[in-house]
A and B are shown apart, each in its own frame.
Chain A
Amino acid sequence: MRVRTLAVALLAGGLALTACGKEGGAGDTGTAPSQQVAADVKVEGSPTFDKIKSRGRVIVGVKEDQPGLGYKDPTSGKFTGFDIEIAKLVAAKLGYGDDKIDYKAIPSAGREQALINGDVDYYVGTYTINAKRKEQVAFAGPYFTAGQDLLVKKDDTSITGKDALKGKKVCSVTGSTPIQKVKSEGLTEPENIVELQTYSLCVEQLEQGAVDAVTTDDAILKGYASQSPTTLKVVGKTFSNEPYGIGLPKEDKALRDKVNDILEEAINGGAWQAAYDATLGQSGSSADKPVLERY
């Protein structure tokens, strides 16, 4: 009986302890120089753009829990990161400044449906281009090329790459591509796979020593590593190719071509580099410029 009372006390104590999770210090990256807002933009034959015009605002789907890429500051509610900068850049070239963008945080599992329903005009949030997804949505880009990598403790020398994961506990988001890859390639034993709701939770587990590695695209991991540079590191041996694209409604070729033009100009000009340097580049790693795939 006393055990139960004790458990109750522990529950209450646990509440107090977990209520103050890891906050702050995240995504404190600078912002890229703001873009010139284009005037009198015309995109002939784009239903999405017509919708934006009549609304007078752009609705962009983004991620909110990925420092350095798409991160919402819990206190100020401001979005920062490389994906956000790309979203702003596209909006500016479509004729809409920062004050006319509404961000909608949409997790990976809801991306296609959000675009199909028209809940968002376009989606920028670590969205890997692949053939299967092209059956449901369209992609402009890629605007960045990432690859699956591993985040480990700074002092961990045993995990050198994907082939050193046997017997190690590996964490990623429930049902995500990277964890499906770990499962299908048998990189570690099934009982050592941990799937949680967000990458932040996985990183917390890693810092507590409950798991040995967190796996997902290096871009996302770099964001976390730059948050805790003294305790965590990215292994730096990518073992997949993840071209990130901007998700668009499937039938809207006019807007897709327009967004591709915008990206091309940004990559060839200085805007893309400036956006990268102000966000992901803060982690000290450089990135190659992507090559557009128009279709």
Chain B
Amino acid sequence: MEIEDVLCTFCGCLCDDIRVEVKEGRIEKVRGACRLGSSKIMGHNRIKSPMIRVNGTLKETSYEDAYRKAAEILVSAKHPLLYGWASTTCEALKKGILLAEEIGGVVDTTATVCHGPSIIGIEEKGLVGSTLGQIKNRADLIVFWGCNPSEAHPRHTLRYSSNACGRFTPDGRKGRKVLVIDVRETRTARNADRFLRIQPGTDYEIISALRMIIGGKAESLPENIAGVSRKELIEIAEMMKSAKFGAIFFGLGLTHSRGRYKNVDNALSLVSELNSHTKFVIMAMRGHYNVTGVGQVLAWSSGYPMAVDYARGAPYYNPGETSCCDLLSRRDVDAALIIASDPASNLPRGCVEALAEMPVIQIDPFENPTTLFADVVIPSAIAGIEAEGTAYRMDGLSLRLRKLVDTEHPSDVEILQAILDNVRRLRDDN
């Protein structure tokens, strides 16, 4: 049986045109997805059974025991961290928020080490945004700044941006200009009409110079701005101003380097100023398939998009204080529930060492380096393949994930509900 219009739950493109062949309850073939997507949908080594660490080794156990043990860890912690979320459904995070309220924990998402600074920048400045559909149908200039969709979002260019054919862009790539700004010549840069190489950590200066040129103050600039000639920046500003509809996609090149959220803040100003000349929009290249959705759910339930601390009885948000890296490096949390993510691989070493010192509960379909020190491991169904739910594409469009095949594993929603029930029972007993 071939299932059509399946959503790919890997990256923020959330492609919704994948075809999956299912035979006798197993996925046999994936058509239409990129290498990243098909690798995820085809599946790999799953964690087979729940496990609890006894004397240093993980031992298989029942789901009930794992839920009970997880609840014990959370109830006895003073300030637990509930981290991850970007690769699960909005419904799972809703349960996670209830759990955090119950135990006075912190909910943080992988956004804090990804586009967290972008969100802070947007909170400061506001965003001239659009849907991916508008860009596909109208944009004649695509700018990729500090991002490399050829490797991180492989179908982005074909479905939504530089190579997409749309209503007013019937010629696709031929009818568009593509500009790449980056510190190295990536695969994306090699396919661009123009590549501007900048020095690491100078995005802020370059954006400021472009803003001055666009504001008519080019003559006040020096000949050379952070290693780039003024002449080259004037040409680039001209390219932006003369577009009919321009779109900037930006990636971790802005958020991971010196300046962090200030880079994004400045880029948002550049785009709003470009709108005095032409139509221009800007969008963050969100990584995990539902990192946008979990930000939305946290925002409409607590008022804040990430790093929300429930320890005070009301939501409290202060990135730099309540974000996972800071909590860990300050040893300000004493237990962690890690869901749909792998902090052992993705956080700085000092944070990983802090995490390894405390009791860790892991909920994930797959083994990863975090499993190597987790104390309770609970295998889950893969959302979008074995469980349904809601996810938001990088432009904020919400889409419904379907269940394609059956599984013996419970969904993240069921696991979190069971842990919550156990927590409530333990607290009643006390």
Asked if A and B bind, the verdict is no
